[in-house]
Every structure is written in structure tokens, then in C-alpha cells.
Structure 1
Amino acid sequence: MSIANTGSPSPTSHLFNPLFAQPEGSPIRELFPYLSRPGMLSLAGGYPSPGLFDAEGLQQAATTALQQDAAASLQYGASEGQLPLREALAELCASRGITCTPGDLLVTTGSQQAFDLLVKVMVAPGDPVLVEVPAYPATLQTLKLAQAQVVSVPTDEHGLDTEALARLLAQWPHARRPKLLYTVPNFSNPGGTLLPASRRAALVALAREHGFAIVEDDPYGELRFDDRCEPSVYETGLAQCGSANPVVYLSSLSKTVAPALRIGWMLADAQLLRRCAIAKQTADLCTSPLAQNIAAHYLRSGRYAPQLQKSCAEYAARMDALCSGLEAALGEQIRFVRPAGGMFIWAQLQPQEGDHEALSRALFAAAVTQGVLYVPGKAFFPADAAKQAGLCMRLSYAAPTVPQINEAVERLGRAWQQAVLSPIA
């Protein structure tokens, strides 16, 4: 659950950083209290399925870590990360077609920390940062606390619109160019889209021309439902720019192994990695060496690939159930792109008439009454662009089972009918 806000004055209120005087938490985590309601079904959180955790394999890896590497596992470690894990992650990157060495990697406490470190190192208050929208809320939250100027870049059914980005950059004043562009090119959160290779190449060319860095966040890229596999933006940057590659690659084991390990990593040039390592020293000194060594032994155990294959097959079945259910329950009243991987569907309802903002509130209230949760679309837009969300929602098929998805969609259909008949004014 989220930390309670009692409304009572704090004796330290006058000492707060102005950014935390009236803080706003994650809009997704603010939904947690609803989850405790009896019988509630959730299509909201982007959580991996608990039934797909390889607990046996992780237990074996933990035993090995403590038996063979007890001193290294229980002691402080290097801020850059344990060498055995960085070697294993370099091999994992190679399997994704990404060329790197262990020295090119910084281990982080989840990929969210990697992005936070990048922002601390690169972004000063007022600096423009390009973000594809709709966007992952924690990205927007990080940039807001950094006092960055968030500049929205539109997306479509293929992901980030590079032609729209080119038009935006052509009008940009040269005195204050953007520092970063953030994108999730593989099965994006929340869009579920896969950026085509041609757009990846165009994006790198724009970064090279206009002098900004690309942050490629890739937690979902291995969760593919077919054989389609676009080259990473990072590898595209290497091919086009060589050692001047403008791309920083972030990834994580949270969606493919277990979130509780909190293992993420950053792949970047040496100068940027050094500065991020120094920033990490002030944050947590180092990512848990025990978790790192468990992850390293697990990746070397031979269990990762078959477990990933199992996850992909199960998520594909759940995705199909959700898409088919939405089409059956809502028909032409809902529009979405059927994803080729990942964990999410970005859906837009199509009412014939009415106040979309009021209808959005009515739908969420009705959904809660019916016992089903989703994340309203406005959570994925900067505050000044929230109206663009309209009647959009993010739905996740990862955690619930197929029978739960079937029931959840029926409840959502009833909620929509309830909201259309009696919208909140």
C-alpha cells in the first residue's frame, strides 16, 4: 500500500525541499489500496506472473552463491557491480545482438535506478528532455523531480513517431537543445508497440544531428510472441556512429527472472559510466552483492532460456485471451493494437458522444464497483498534456490467469455500460 497521507501538519514541514512540499506518488501505486478489496481482479500493475517465477532455480543459485562465494556475497561490493554478474550480463546482451564487454556495464538496483542516475548526471533544472508519450509514469516522475522540461514526442501504432520528432527538432532553438530522449522501443510500456528498424535508424540519425543522447529502456524485449526481432537502438547507434554512439542501453531481470532481485544494468561509454558510478555511490554504495551473485549463478545455470520460453508462451496465451475478450465485450467501442510481446495493451474507448473526462471518471468508479482494476490513461502523460489521454487505459495481461482475464473483461464490459448510462458529472 502507499504511504498514508494523514493531512496533519508535520513539525518538519518548513524544512521540506519545495519539490516535496506537495509530492505526488506513482499513479499506479496509488491503486494499491483497491487491491485489498475482496474479489478484486487487476489488469493494472505490470507485474510478472508469480506462477512463472523459477523459485527452484533461484534457490539453487542462492545456495551456490552462499556456498561458493559467501565472502563476496555478504560483503560490500564495487559500485560498478560484481564481475561475475557483469560477465554474465555481457553474454546475455550478446544473445540479444548487442556487442559489449563487462567493462561497458554498470549494475544498478533495477533499471529505474539506472535512469535516475542518468538524470542526475546529465540533466540540470530546466533542461529539455524528450519523452515518447504515452510514457512510463516513473520516468515522468523522475524528470519532474529533476525539474526538467519534459517535451512530449507523439507515438502511433508503431511506437515513437520519428517524422514528428524531426519536425519538432527542426523548429528547436539552437541555444537550448534537448539533452536526452527516452524511449521503450520493444513492446513499450504502456503502448505495447515495437519500433521498426527504419525508425530506429532514423532516431539515431536525429540524435547524431541534434546532439542528444537516446535512452533505450529495454525490460520487455525478450518477451516476444513470434520471431520478429528488431536490432537494438544501441547496436544501430554503434553501426552508424561507432565510438560516438549516442545511445545508452538500460535493461533489467525484473520481468524475465524476478523483480525482487532488483538487478538492472546500464550500457554506455566509459565517461558516462564513471559519472553514474559516482552518483550511485551516494545512493546505495552498491547493488546487493548477494542478489548479484544469485543472478550470476542463475544466468549461468542453463535455466534462463527455457524459463524465458515458457514465460513467452504463457504471456502470449494471456494476451490473446485479453484481446479476444475485449473484442467480444466491447466490439467497435474499443480500439487497440494487438502486441507482439511484452505485458501491456493500450486501449482507447470510442464513445459516440459525451464529456470524455467525466466519462473516464465514471468508468473507473464503475470498474471498481464491478471488481476490476486498470490504469487510466492520464497516468502516462505529463500534467500539461493529460487531456490527450482521453478515454485511454493500460491493461496488463501478465499477472492474471486466463480464467481471471476472461472474468475481468466481462466486468469491464459491464462497467463501461454502467458508465455510459450514468456518467459522473
Structure 2
Amino acid sequence: MTATASAATAPTPPPAPAVPPPPFAARATAVGGSPVREILALTERPGVVSFAGGLPAPELFDTDGLRAAYDAAFATSAARALQYSTTEGAPELRRAVAERATARGLATTADDVLVTTGSQQALTLITATLVEPGDTVLVENPTYLAALQAFGLAGARVIPVPCDEQGILPDALEEIVLRERPKLLYCIPTFQNPTGRTLPAARRAAVAQVAARLGLWLVEDDPYGDLRFEGDEVPWLAAHPGAEDRTALLGSFSKIMAPGLRLGWLRAPAALRRAAVVAKQAADLHTSTVDQLAAAHYLSAADLEAHIATVRDAYRIRRDALLAGLGEALPEGSQWNRPEGGMFVWARLPEGYDATALLKRAVAKDVAFVPGAPFYTGTPDARTLRLSFTTHTAEEIAVGLERLRAAAG
């Protein structure tokens, strides 16, 4: 009895120290978050005029047309709209993408197309398919920040290709390919993010030939190509001789319909596309069925080209308003380009200025932009900045420019 009572009152031994879980993968800590996203979070308060985000203008969304398209998707077959789908995508949406690509001069069938959850996923799938840790990837300098993140997460060695105000220099590209033996070249030839520049047709042809002669995959990202305000259309890089069997073309409905749909597409050679399908199966099985069917209904019932024309007209006015006021808003000696379309103007401040320092003063004046430094691989140009003109009216842009002038002092 005594022994039993003694055992019952014995103190409970302290728990063993908890062993922490294993560390994150190295790639998860080696790649930082997006400074652009962080800037956008700072500028969401009411009253801020933001030239920072590459966002479509929400007042231009065809909300009635898209609402009708979702109603049609449910009315036609709610069971299908709410069910699992094939990884490749809804056949009617793939056909619509193929028809639009063919109309722009690149013969395409539905079988050539994979529907993705935004074109960003298409880039992620191609990266997963082609890039192993230590592989070399070439990019324009500067380039799309999320592409740098994707390649960084894959463990790639990212090397910039020299560019001028028109984009990639083909001779420099050839020299780097011979020296570095890269796996792929990632580029945004039309209305590039962040610079707004467009690669001329002759240079596209030369890039395609370099890739064909020296053995190089090409990843052509084209989220902005439909947003041309002036000048002649330039054929896709994928349409040039030498690029046929080695180009992954990425497209998106975000800029011409609505980014909330998260719908993009990938056109690629058969073997590469099949590998990307397997990678997508591992990522998300398939893109949202209801969103795909709604988009397909929209493309069949609405006049998308008329809607795009409305968007272009609005963006042209806004671009012109931004360009007209930059001379007064930025310090004397600043330079900037005049993009023929897209969403961005690229500027460079005079010697002695730093765009990140200017941003701090600008935010205090309720105006914002994106410093150019994060878009660079290697040594950045701290004097550069990206200004988006799409999300404010001409009158609001004028107010923002006056605030920017006050911040630049």
C-alpha cells in the first residue's frame, strides 16, 4: 500500500527537449521575395497615385460579358464546370487559343497548346522541365523579376545578355552561348517588362538563328503583345526560321480579359509540351475547369478584339499623359523611352541620383513607382525606374506627376 501511494505521488519527469524539424530547402532561403509586391503593399492606402504595379485597369474589365460567360458555363453543364478536367485543358479553350495564335501568323492547333494557371505557371513548368541545379540560363538585363525568382528557385546560374534600347544584341548573345553553353534564353521581346522596349524583327531572326546553330532553348514570354498602340506588328520569335522546334511561347489572358481568372497558355514543341504536362500534373492536376469554360464561352460570344481596342485606346491616352509630364516631374537630365504599347515606361535619373532613395520621398508624397535595381542580374543600375501608366486616368496621372516633381525636389 505504501509503495503504491509513493508511486502515485512521484513527480512527472520533464518532457524531453523538442527536436526542431529539418531546415528548409536551400532554394527557399536563397531566393528573396518580390520587392515589387512589397512596394504595392505600401501603396494600397487610399489617395496614393501608384505608377508601381503592372496592373490592368479594373474599370476596363468587361464585367458584364464575363458574368454572362460564367452563367453560360453553368447553364451548358454545371456538372462539367464543377468537375475535374484534363491536364491539357478544355478542348474549346485550347482551340480558341490556337485560332488566335494562327491569326497572328503562327500556325497552331489545339494539340500544340497547354492551358496553365496564368502564364507564370507556364514559366514554372518550363523551368521544372528544362533546368537542373547548376544549369546556365540567359536573360535580358534587366528582366521580369518573377522569372529571376523562378530560375533562382530551380538553382540555375543566371547570366545577363547585353542589351541596348531595342533589346538583345545578337552578336553578344552568340558570344555568351559559345562561352557559357546555357540551357535556355528567356526573353520578353514585345513591350518588355520592365523596360517597355520591343525587339526588332531582324534581331528576332538573328536570335532564332543563334539558337538553331548553337543548340539553345528559347522561352518567349508574351503577356503584352496584344496591347500595341502604334507601329507595325512584329512576328513572334517563335515564328522565325530556326525557332520552330525549340521555342516555348507563353501567353496570358490577364492583360486582355482579367488577371483574376488566372488563365495562361503554353505553346511548345510536342516533346517539351508533354514533359510540361507531367510537371503540371504534379503541380495542380489541371487549371480551374469553370474558369476555362467561362473563358471559352466569352471568346465564342463576345467581341474580344473590340474589347482589346477599347483597352488600347485608354492605355494610349494614359501613356501619352505620363510622357507629357515626365520632363517636369523628373530631375533635369533624366531620360526615358516611348514604348509603342504595353504597360511600362523606363526612365533613368541623372548622375548622382538613386531611384530607391527617391521612392522613399515619393511615398511620403503619396506617389509611387518601382526602382529598377531589382530587375537586374548582377550589378544594377540604381538610377533606373519603372513607371506603369495603366491604372490611373490622365487626370490622376497629372496629379501623381506633380507629387513626383515635389519629391524629386
* Bucket of the pairwise TM-score, normalised by the shorter protein: over 0.9
1:319 counterpart letter in structure 2: R
2:275 counterpart letter in structure 1: R
Deviation at 1:13, TM superposition (A): 6.2
Contact 1:187 1:194 in 2 (8 A): yes
State the partner residue of 2:150: 142
Q: Distance in 1 between matches of 2:398 and 2:332?
A: 18
Correspondence for 1:133 among 130, 141, 162 = 141
Query: Which segment is superposed worse, 309-318 or 220-229?
Result: 220-229
State the partner residue of 1:86: 94
Q: Distance in 2 between matches of 1:20 and 1:141?
A: 10
Q: Distance in 2 between matches of 1:241 and 1:206?
A: 8
Deviation at 1:22, TM superposition (A): 6.0
- Aligned: 1:413 with 2:405: yes
Q: Look up the SS of the partner of 1:150 in the other structure.
A: strand
Q: Look up the SS of the partner of 2:319 in the other structure.
A: helix
Contact 1:184 1:217 in 2 (8 A): yes
1:53 counterpart letter in structure 2: F
Q: Note the alpha carbon deviations across 1:248-280, whole angstroms, 9 max, x for none.
A: 111000001000111100001111111100100
Aligned residues: 392
Q: Look up the SS of the partner of 1:300 in the other structure.
A: helix
1:344 counterpart letter in structure 2: F
Distance verdict in 2 for CA 1:241–1:205, change over 3 Å? closer
Correspondence for 1:198 among 199, 202, 205 = 202
Gaps of 5+ in 1: 1-9, 418-425
Deviation at 1:332, TM superposition (A): 4.2
Q: What percent identity do the matched residue pairs reach? A: 43
Deviation at 1:80, TM superposition (A): 0.5
Q: Distance in 2 between matches of 1:226 and 1:361?
A: 32
Once the two structures are superposed, the pairs formed by residues 295-314 of structure 1 within 5 Å of their partners are 295-314=295-314
Contact 1:13 1:21 in 2 (8 A): no
State the partner residue of 1:290: 290
Larger Rg computed on CA atoms = 2
Gaps of 5+ in 2: 1-17
2:252 counterpart letter in structure 1: S
Q: Distance in 2 between matches of 1:350 and 1:412?
A: 15
TM-score, length-scaled by structure 2? 0.92
State the partner residue of 1:260: 260
Q: Distance in 2 between matches of 1:52 and 1:321?
A: 18
Correspondence for 1:179 among 183, 188, 193 = 183
Correspondence for 2:34 among 26, 36, 42 = 26
State the partner residue of 1:366: 361
Q: Note the alpha carbon deviations across 1:146-196, whole angstroms, 9 max, x for none.
A: 1100010122221222222123234x15xxx11110111110101101111
Q: Distance in 2 between matches of 1:11 and 1:365?
A: 43
Correspondence for 2:63 among 40, 52, 55 = 55
1:274 counterpart letter in structure 2: R
Correspondence for 1:95 among 96, 103, 120 = 103
- Aligned: 1:116 with 2:116: no
Correspondence for 1:153 among 161, 172, 189 = 161
Deviation at 1:23, TM superposition (A): 5.0
Q: Look up the SS of the partner of 2:386 in the other structure.
A: strand
State the partner residue of 2:245: 245
1:39 counterpart letter in structure 2: G
- Aligned: 1:400 with 2:377: no
State the partner residue of 2:10: none
